[in-house]
Amino acid sequence: MARIRHLQDRQKGRGKPVHHELLPRADGQDSAPAPALPRGPVPYRPGMGRGAPTLPGPSLHRHYTLSDAPNTAHYRITVKREREDGDASSDPSPGMVSNTLHSLPAGSDLQVSFPAGTFTIPEPLPKQVIFLSDSVGITPNLAMLNSLVDLAKPPKITWIQGARNKVEHVFARHVREIGEKSGEKFKEVVFYSKPGPDTGRGSTEALYYICGPPAFMSGMVQSLVELGVANENIRSEAFGAGEIEMA
């Protein structure tokens, strides 16, 4: 997943060319972003997106959310490289735009639209904000998070993020560092749908207590057993009718 920093052209209007610079991969081991180039102010509200780009050849257009807090130097989008043999029923040109973006040499000019959207933080700020995201859906939430933590009095923030596994956990280090700096004002919760063998393995000595509806209980019991927890270390009580199947 690459990050592309789009630098604003001094001309105003829709579809003006902007210069682009390719940043390091935005995986769980984020590198520091490249220095921003001075090009003047780029006004937008965190959570907004922009259309980018119109590529040569077939008329292909994608909408990407800006993935960083507003600043005076650049736009940043975070683009996952999709497989070009993806589901053609949902996308007539699967992977074409993302692969083209990943392959562009630094210094290329792209036609993009100016930021727009209503998925933004209201004013006045609420006392608490809870962000929920999965995979590349993190981008608008990340822009808003980066904006909030820079405030003198940020609201209480809960960050809930889903990912396939540790390797595909986007911006893991960045969010973790925010938590370390924010203290009690920030809480992070992460869920992996397909964790690796070294992630979230249950302790064979711990005793697990599970309580909830039958479907939830059965799923949790199965997951714990798959992670190496013995049946005798799992205690459960269901809310509602139904049997709990022990693996």
Per-residue pLDDT tens, the chain, 247 aa: give them. Answer: 444 444 433 334 444 444 444 455 555 434 334 444 445 546 778 888 765 555 555 556 677 778 888 876 677 877 777 665 544 444 555 577 777 777 777 777 666 677 777 888 888 888 999 999 887 788 889 999 999 998 999 999 999 998 888 888 889 999 999 999 999 999 999 888 777 766 655 566 678 888 877 877 888 788 788 878 888 888 877 665 444 555 5
Tokens 């180039």, residue?
37
128-192 maps to which CATH number? Answer: 3.40.50.80
Indicate where the chain has its CATH 2.40.30 domain(s): 2-112
User: 177 phi and psi, to 5 degrees?
Assistant: -65, -35
DSSP character at residue 241: S
Which class would CATH give 2-112?
A: mainly beta
Indicate where the chain has its CATH 3.40.50.80 domain(s): 128-192
Strand partners, 134: 162
Instruction: Please answer whether residues 182 and 158 qualify as being in contact, where contact means their C-beta atoms are separated by less than 8 angstroms.
Output: no
Beta strands in the chain (DSSP E): 2-7, 16-25, 49-51, 63-65, 75-79, 109-112, 128-134, 156-163, 186-192, 208-212, 234-238
* Interatomic CA distance for residues 191 and 234, integer angstroms: 21
